[in-house]
């Protein structure tokens, strides 16, 4: 993945583990699902991660949950 980024004049991927800080780089996935009739939106530069609650998709997660998973992972190493 990093080699492909470098070939396109981009920097290597930077570690992102401070989930309350903005993500400097934007991302435009150009992904869609014709089966589900759904498209995924872009992430603009300097976006911060927020809690998600989407009952229709049965998705609910909090930023604090990501921090807990990160901390448990680091403690296990």
Note whether residue 60 is domain-resident.
Answer: yes
| CA nearest neighbour of 16 among 66, 76, 75, 68 | 66
pLDDT digits (tens, 9 = 90+) for 36-64: 677 778 899 999 999 999 898 898 999 99
Is residue 46 included in any domain, yes or no?
Answer: yes
Please tell me the predicted confidence (pLDDT) of residue 40. 77
For residue 30, the model assigns a pLDDT of 76
The whole-model pTM stands at: 0.67
Task: Please report whether residue 43 resides in a domain.
Answer: yes
Other beta carbons less than 10 A from residue 70's beta carbon? 13
Residue 37, in any domain of the structure? yes
Cα–Cα distance for residue pair 56/28, rounded to 1 Å: 24
In a domain, 31, yes or no: yes
Q: For residue 34, is it within any domain? A: yes
Domain of residue 44 covers 20-76
User: What per-residue confidence (pLDDT) applies to 9?
Assistant: 93
Separation between Cα atoms, residue 50 and residue 57, nearest integer Å: 17
Q: Residue 70 domain-assigned?
A: yes
Token pair listed for 76:
């296990």
Q: How many domains does the chain have?
A: 1
pLDDT top residue among 25 and 33: 25
């Amino acid at each position: 993945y990093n080699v492909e980024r470098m070939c396109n004049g981009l920097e290597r991927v930077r570690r992102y583990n401070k989930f309350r800080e903005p993500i400097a780089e934007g991302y435009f996935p150009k992904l869609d699902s014709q089966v589900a009739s759904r498209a995924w939106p872009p992430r603009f530069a300097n976006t911060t991660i927020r809690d998600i609650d989407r009952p229709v998709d049965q998705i609910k997660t909090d930023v604090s949950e990501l921090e807990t998973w990160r901390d448990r992972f680091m403690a296990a190493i």
